[in-house]
């Protein structure tokens, strides 16, 4: 329709018409109102305060895809790979992204004309006239009609809408990556605690065996008259208390196993993890410069894309100040007989245009623009807060790893001293130089220190997972889909994982 108008103008030899055609073409090319997006700045320090304690090591030791492979545990690797397949929260986030893609497609459809078609056929009788009630007449009517209407995007309202919807879809992709990283981190953290529960069970089982032997010796001494009943009762109480601790660890392990089952999308009744005697090592995690967190954290990337979407909405609101122009055209045919429906004499057509401009709205448009600008300011604040929160999380985990490393060294020394004291006092008791109470105190102290050391290992492993998660795991902004990808129909693969044999050599 539009090209037909321009062709009519081009065929006219008059200079005024040629000038009009040029002007019309320029007008229809349109402009885009509203501010162009410029990424606001965020407060980024030159380095992490808590990172100075670490020895420099190459950052390429961490696999940017399967980041959990740094723990060198094939069971953990197999579990993590099930998250993309079966985790229901992740499936919900993926569906939200597909919904955002569909919104972009719907917005882009406004660029094009709307074309409609219709057809009808009627047979009707009109009553006869006159006093005698003459015969009426019967008539037929057939028609075919096609129409098109188009609202050209003169002021960029549609362009800004698509721009905002694309940014929202990218933010949804960031949310999906955040959901994936959260699920991966939760699974890794639960798995670390489960393996620590295995370690604690082994420690308590060894203690139960040792205390059972101590009770047997004490009972024999009581039978031989070299120990009193109180020593037997103390040995029995110590054994029973340790067995109760062992049972409680079993409850904790079962709950962690259930949590992991849900994370991998399986009913707890159909899922189990066999105990392991392997001890997970505390990995070294090289933090990059703070500025890299803007590229590594999917939640920050999503917040930045929401700023772009909010900025585009300012242009959408400002476009309401300008008139809406609609061009329309219809063509068809109408006849009383079907055989004449396609004859030249039966053809009909029309074309034209209309413009609508709001003359008074009581300040509604200005309020809409003010609302859009305020919404953009809110997203800027949210983005900057996301950056600060991310920096805090990294600093927290770096501090935790530093302090826990020092605590682990001190606790190792305490365990060694307690074990030596336990050995000496047991020998003294067997020699008859100390009461059994001293043995109970020494063994309880040694077991308590050993449990504390295990709990510190758990805290260090969990903190290492939290640090990797705070640094963005294996994600970076290159995995955020571009506009061309969002506007296409290709499936999205956010985080392809390398095979297990591609683990980094640490």
**What are the φ and ψ backbone dihedral angles of 289, each rounded to 5 degrees?**
-60, 150
10-residue block means of pLDDT along the chain (506 residues)? Answer: 33 40 47 89 86 46 70 94 89 90 90 91 78 71 90 90 93 93 95 97 95 91 87 94 96 96 94 93 85 89 95 94 92 86 86 90 93 96 95 94 96 96 92 89 95 96 95 85 79 47 34
Question: Which contacts (CB < 8 Å, 24+ apart) does range 102-111 have?
Answer: 103/165, 103/168, 103/169, 104/162, 104/165, 104/166, 104/169, 104/486, 104/487, 105/487, 107/158, 107/161, 107/162, 107/165, 108/162, 108/487, 110/151, 110/153, 110/158, 110/161, 111/153, 111/158, 111/162
Report CA Rg, the chain.
38
Where are the chain's structural domains?
Answer: 30-112+155-322+369-489
Report d(CA 450, CA 447) in Å as an integer: 5
How far apart are alpha carbons 223 and 310 in whole angstroms? 84
Gap between the terminal Cα atoms of the chain:
67
Sign (positive or negative) of CA dihedral 36, 42, 47, 53 = negative
Say if CB 445 and CB 421 are below 8 A apart. yes
The first and second tokens of residue 60, run together, are 């390429």
The model's pTM = 0.82
Please tell me whether residue 85 adopts helix, strand or coil conformation: helix
Q: Which pLDDT value is given to residue 65?
A: 67
If you classify domain 30-112+155-322+369-489 with CATH, what class do you get?
mainly alpha
């Amino acid at each position: 329709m539009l090209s037909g108008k321009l062709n009519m103008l081009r065929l006219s030899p008059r200079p005024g018409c040629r000038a009009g055609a040029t002007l019309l073409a320029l007008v229809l090319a349109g402009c885009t109102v509203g501010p162009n997006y410029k990424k606001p700045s965020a407060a980024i320090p030159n380095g992490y305060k808590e990172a100075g304690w670490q020895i420099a090591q190459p950052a390429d030791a961490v696999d940017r895809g399967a980041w959990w492979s740094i723990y060198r545990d094939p069971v953990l690797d197999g579990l993590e790979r099930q998250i993309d397949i079966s985790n229901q929260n992740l499936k919900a986030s993926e569906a939200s992204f597909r919904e955002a893609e569909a919104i972009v497609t719907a917005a882009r459809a406004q660029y094009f004309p709307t074309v409609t078609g219709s057809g009808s056929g009627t047979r009707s009788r009109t009553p006869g006239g006159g006093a005698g009630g003459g015969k009426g007449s019967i008539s037929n009517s057939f028609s075919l009609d096609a129409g098109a209407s188009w609202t050209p995007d003169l002021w960029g309202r549609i362009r800004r809408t698509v721009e905002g919807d694309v940014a929202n879809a990218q933010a949804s992709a960031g949310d999906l990556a955040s959901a994936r990283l959260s699920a991966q981190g939760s699974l890794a953290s639960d798995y670390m605690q489960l393996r620590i529960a295995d370690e604690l069970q082994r420690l308590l089982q060894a203690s139960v065996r040792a205390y059972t032997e101590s009770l047997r010796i004490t009972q024999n001494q009581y039978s031989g008259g070299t120990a009193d009943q109180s020593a037997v009762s103390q040995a029995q109480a110590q054994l029973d208390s340790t067995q109760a601790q062992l049972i409680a660890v079993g409850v904790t392990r079962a709950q962690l196993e259930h949590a992991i089952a849900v994370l991998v999308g399986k009913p707890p009744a159909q899922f189990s993890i066999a105990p392991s005697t392997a001890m997970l090592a505390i990995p070294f995690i090289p933090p990059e410069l703070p500025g890299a967190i803007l590229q590594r954290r999917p939640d920050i990337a999503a917040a930045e894309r929401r700023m772009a979407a909010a900025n585009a909405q300012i242009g959408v609101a400002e476009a309401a100040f300008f008139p809406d122009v609609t061009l329309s055209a219809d063509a068809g045919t109408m006849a009383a007989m079907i055989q004449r429906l396609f004859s030249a004499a039966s053809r009909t057509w029309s074309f034209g245009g209309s413009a609508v401009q709001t003359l008074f709205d009581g300040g509604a448009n200005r309020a809409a623009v003010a609302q859009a600008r305020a919404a953009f300011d809110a997203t800027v604040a949210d983005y900057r807060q996301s950056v600060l929160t991310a920096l805090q999380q990294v600093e927290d985990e770096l501090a935790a790893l530093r302090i826990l490393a020092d605590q682990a060294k001190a606790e190792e020394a305490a365990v060694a001293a307690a074990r030596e004291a336990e050995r000496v006092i047991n020998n003294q008791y067997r020699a008859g130089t100390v009461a059994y109470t001293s043995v109970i105190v020494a063994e309880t102290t040694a077991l308590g220190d050993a449990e504390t050391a295990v709990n510190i290992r758990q805290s260090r492993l969990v903190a290492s997972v939290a640090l990797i998660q705070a640094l963005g795991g294996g994600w970076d902004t290159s995995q955020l889909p571009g506009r061309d990808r969002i506007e296409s129909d290709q499936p999205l693969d956010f985080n392809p994982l390398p095979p297990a044999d591609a683990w980094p050599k640490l």
